[in-house]
Amino acid sequence: MTRTEPYARTIPHPLFERMIINDANTPAEEPWEPERQHEYGYFPGCVDFMDVEVKFSHLNKGDADHASIAAAAIKLMNAADIDPLILDMNSFKCCGHDQLWQGQLEVFDELKAHNLRRMKESGIGTLVVTCAEGYRTFAVDYDLPGHGIKVEHITQTLRDRGLKFKSPEPVRVTFHDPCRLGRMMGEYDAPRDLIQLVEGAEMVELANSREKALCCGVSSMMYCNDATKAVRKKRLDQGTDAEVQIMLGGCPKCYMHMQCMLNEERMDPGEHNHSFEMLDLMQFLSACLIEETA
């Protein structure tokens, strides 16, 4: 069979992409000031932005619930006595990671200029992000540390906060290293330290872990096709080989794409063997948190 048309290069999800570009090109000139000073700022990022109306929560029959990652992160931070300023989409825009990596540099520059100005206006000392891609973008591409704002992935923020976790039942978990958190930012230990804190959770490593971890297959939402799915399937197969009950991720994109694959497989009962759950680390910790009665 010969191909008559070139391969499609539509970047998923077209409407969402258009919305970010539209947002980037809408200038917001008026200054902004938070109601009060916060040491910590939390940037939920696309997690909630996507989950609003693009309805990622409604896709996959409601299984990929991204808003719950943000809710879990806020709950855990509050439990760790951190009162973060929520850097919401009223004053901020998408961090622009995908646009940068897709080569839409002018869009990224618009987003960066806007967000940098807002970061300075917010007066925060430390920025916390739940998204590994956002973490890399703010720390490296925005160079926030150079502007006097420390950037932390939420696992780094929570690791030494004396939080106590107990799993409702003995469970075998693994951690899927996101590319941006691991290979790019060199953070392998913080999420593992957090998992160690969970009583009753047995942590196993996948066949490829840490520096050699496999990618979820869809970097910066560039494209999804049979090749990227093959990578994802291989990664999920490793979870089966390690006999895990939950695969944990530190990046909403990994979570989303793994969920998508798992849902796709539901159409073909019996043709796969991935009988475990994919959760974001924050969601898992939230389910295991022992709330102290003050």
Residues 2-31 that bind another protein (CB under 8 A): 3, 5, 7-8, 10, 12-16, 18-19, 22-23
Size of the site for another protein (CB under 8 A): 71
Best CA proximity match to 99, nearest among 16, 184, 42, 8 = 16
x/- mask, another protein, residues 84-123, rule CB under 8 A, reads --x-xxxxx-------------------------------
- In the list 34, 54, 141, 197, the residue contacting another protein (rule: CB under 8 A) is 54
Among 38, 41, 68, 82, binds another protein (CB under 8 A): 68
Q: In the bound complex, what is the minimum distance in angstroms from residue 289's beta carbon to another protein?
A: 7
Using CB under 8 A, which residues numbered 143 to 172 contact another protein?
A: 168, 171
Closer CB to another protein, residue 6 or residue 148? 6
Task: Indicate which single residue of 61, 292, 293, 294 sits in contact with another protein (rule: CB under 8 A).
Answer: 61
> By CB under 8 A, is residue 293 in contact with another protein?
no
Of 116-124, 145-153, 197-205, 257-265, the window that binds another protein (rule: CB under 8 A) is 257-265
200 binds another protein (CB under 8 A): no
Identity of the residue, 146 or 168, whose beta carbon is nearer to another protein in the bound complex: 168
